[in-house]
Amino acid sequence: MRKQAIGIFVTLWFVSWAIFLAGPSLSQAQEVIAIEGGTLIDGNGGPPVPDSLIIIRGNRIETVSRRGQASYPPGATVIDATGKTIIPGLVDGHIHLRNNMQPLFLYWGVTTVVDYRNVTSWLWAEKDAVEKGAVVGPNIFIHYPLDSLHPEAQRHIPEGWSSERWGLGSGPEGRRVSMDLYSRGNADRRWVSDEASLQAAILEAKQAGFDAIQFYQSIPVPLIKKGVEIAHRHGLPAIGQYTSPAVRRGIDEMIDTGIDVHVEMHGIEFATASKADQEALIREQVNDGKGGIRSLGSHFMNPSAFPALVQQMVSRQMYLAPTLAHYYQEISRYREEFDRFNTTFLEGPVGLLAPGREDLLKWNKPYKDPVLREKRAVGYRKIGEFLKLFVDQGGKLIASTGAPSGGSPGVSLHNEIRMYRESGLTPMQAIQAATIWPMQAYRKDKELGSIEAGKRADLVVLNRNPLDDISATRDIHMVIKSGKIVDREGLAQWKDPFPRPQPGDDGVLRIPLVDEISPFSLPVHKGGSVPEVIVRGGNFTPDCRVMFNDQFVPTKYYDSGRLGITIKPSMLKEPGTYPISVVQPGSGGGISNLWYFYVTY
């Protein structure tokens, strides 16, 4: 009996200990979803699979099969997708993230975005919040941008173009950094000048977990080439940001660097124009760029130069992110349809979140200048011819929009896909450009880009089949991001917890501005009361506090343009010039510009 009791005790002890160890996994059981009956386009380019069955457990795809070929896990949420089509979550391979853009992307099935040139510390805060599930948003890939103040960059600036445009200009050493980089509150790039600084920067990027190294065109070609070698040794793709339409470089130099992704079409426009037309292209860019929409120079492209260039790019396995919709959606034959689609969305509840919404409402309006319109039309046809040849020869595109500067986030990606079809790509090629191909370029295709067992469960359920009509990509029934069904309409209530540190960025920051102090001086204190000093400016709130020299002083709020301060007698003992600034505490706050106060004799 005693032995039996001991046996029961030991058994219960082991069971209790096993339950204790298993407790977290039992209490946090992963949600299971089964999507049955839909036509599956998995992103890999093979024939669609009818009557499919996709099992999702947690944030991963567990199995992909046909209905009837696999059993349904107990407790699975079953989604009937009969008559619908399932595609991988979409990718926008070129954006500039701003506050409140994330819900717009998700609404339109864009589950991954690649950001170019931004406040990287802010991007990391946004990325981390999404990955931890604290914020609903797309996956965010972050570039580590490298730039250079090397004198070699000067020769690539065409005459007539302001050097300020390039972050270069006169100064103590003949060069200086544009103040735009510092007005943001955080730097948006890393400056390199030699191989040692390249080594240090790229190692830092690898250790920090950046997704790619981005090289700007101001870096000399030999230095970019060395940087690409270093990036590849660390397993990081290299991106060439040769964005200027009038840059005096051709694609041959870009190819020679070994970069993995060429951004936009400007280098290709320049490289495929004749020598005489290259000079005309530059002159036209200088003239057109002074206040209106540029013709871009694509009408100068010579199609006879396309085959050799395409062969070079394809043989080097260079991906191309043409950002087609950014520059040409107003000239597409679908312009009026794009305009209606864009306007309807921006006037709806989720569209109201769009940053710069008033400008986005005007995005697809027709050109008024018939000469410019004809140049754009000719250029668009030639670019379409180039893209088709590039893909037909084995090249791979990365669907990219430049949103929001390239149109409404999410909306513009569907326009880009439609325009690939207009350029002659097959529907499958257009879909792959927005799914698996970008992930291959960024070496993330083991994780994302297609619907396969083991990959992250990012997918879109469409009401129609885009292989029959590519516009069906925007006819969305359901979006699933990381294994969770997105409440698309509920995104209208989305709040961004991190105001982006850029003054004037859609009013999300509350940075005060000082433009007058009265009186602007007081004599050295020798007794008696100290008069109130009035600080005038803008964007003041009752929470604002004024700092005199290195100390906060009693602050009285009158209104959004006026504060009163009392300077302590102890601060008025020594004559001098003393800084005054206004501090707005809290998330989205900031420090004003400096103003100076004089303590006189």
Q: In the 8-state DSSP scheme, what is residue 461?
A: E
How many Å apart are CA 497 and CA 125, to the nearest integer? 9
Whether the predicted pLDDT of 464 surpasses 50: yes
Q: Specify the pLDDT at position 294.
A: 56
The 10 Å Cβ neighbour count of residue 563 is 25
Which of 39-43, 114-118, 125-129, 186-190 has the least mean pLDDT? 186-190
Q: Which residues are registered as beta bridge partners of 479?
A: 460
| Per-residue CA distances from 214 to 126, 167, 205, 345 (Å) | 20, 17, 11, 33
pLDDT tens sequence across 306-328: 999 999 999 999 999 999 999 89
Q: Domain 88-493, what fold?
A: TIM Barrel (3.20.20)
How many Å apart are CA 239 and CA 231, to the nearest integer? 10
| Per-residue CA distances from 1 to 4, 6, 85, 446 (Å) | 5, 9, 66, 59
Q: Which residues are registered as beta bridge partners of 215?
A: 146, 240
Give the residue-averaged pLDDT of 188-208.
88
Q: Specify the pLDDT at position 284.
A: 72
Which residue type does 276 have? A
Reported as type and span, the H/E element at residue 354 is none
Whether the predicted pLDDT of 292 surpasses 50: no
Looking at per-residue pLDDT, the higher value among 500 and 77 belongs to: 77
Specify the 3-state DSSP secondary structure of 262.
Answer: strand
Confidence of residue 234 (pLDDT cuts 50, 70, 90): very high
Whether the predicted pLDDT of 434 surpasses 60: yes
Please, where are the H alpha helices in 289-435? Answer: 306-315, 324-328, 335-346, 357-360, 370-392, 411-422, 427-433
Angle made by CA atoms 155, 156, 158, in degrees to the nearest 5: 95
Average pLDDT of the chain to the nearest whole number: 85
pLDDT tens sequence across 482-497: 999 999 999 999 988 8
Q: What percent of the chain has pLDDT over 90?
A: 59
How many Å apart are CA 7 and CA 11, to the nearest integer? 6
Confidence of residue 172 (pLDDT cuts 50, 70, 90): very low
Structural domain boundaries in the chain? 1-29, 88-493, 513-600
Angle made by CA atoms 57, 63, 65, in degrees to the nearest 5: 140
How many Å apart are CA 96 and CA 353, to the nearest integer? 16
Q: What percent of the chain has pLDDT over 70?
A: 84
| Per-residue CA distances from 124 to 102, 115, 130, 240, 380 (Å) | 14, 11, 10, 22, 36
Q: E strands of 161-200, at which residues?
A: 190-191
The 10 Å Cβ neighbour count of residue 348 is 12
Reported as type and span, the H/E element at residue 425 is none
Whether the predicted pLDDT of 375 surpasses 60: yes
Give the residue-averaged pLDDT of 464-481.
98
Which of 4-8, 132-136, 344-348 has the least mean pLDDT? 4-8
Confidence of residue 29 (pLDDT cuts 50, 70, 90): low
Q: Which two tokens stand for residue 567?
A: 């300077």
The 10 Å Cβ neighbour count of residue 585 is 12
- Domain at 513-600, CATH class: mainly beta
How many Å apart are CA 284 and CA 273, to the nearest integer? 13
The whole-angstrom distance between residue 311's C-alpha and the CA centroid of its chain comes to 30
Q: Specify the pLDDT at position 193.
A: 84
Which pairing describes strands 212-216 and 139-147: parallel, antiparallel, or unpaired?
parallel
How many Å apart are CA 451 and CA 369, to the nearest integer? 46
Reported as type and span, the H/E element at residue 496 is none
Rg (CA), the chain: 29
Range of 48-57, 116-125, 318-327 with top mean pLDDT: 48-57
Q: Which candidate, 415, 365, 559, 467, places its Cα nearest to that of 45? A: 467
Q: Specify the pLDDT at position 508.
A: 67
Whether the predicted pLDDT of 588 surpasses 90: no
How many Å apart are CA 322 and CA 383, to the nearest integer? 9
Confidence of residue 282 (pLDDT cuts 50, 70, 90): confident
Give the residue-averaged pLDDT of 170-190.
43
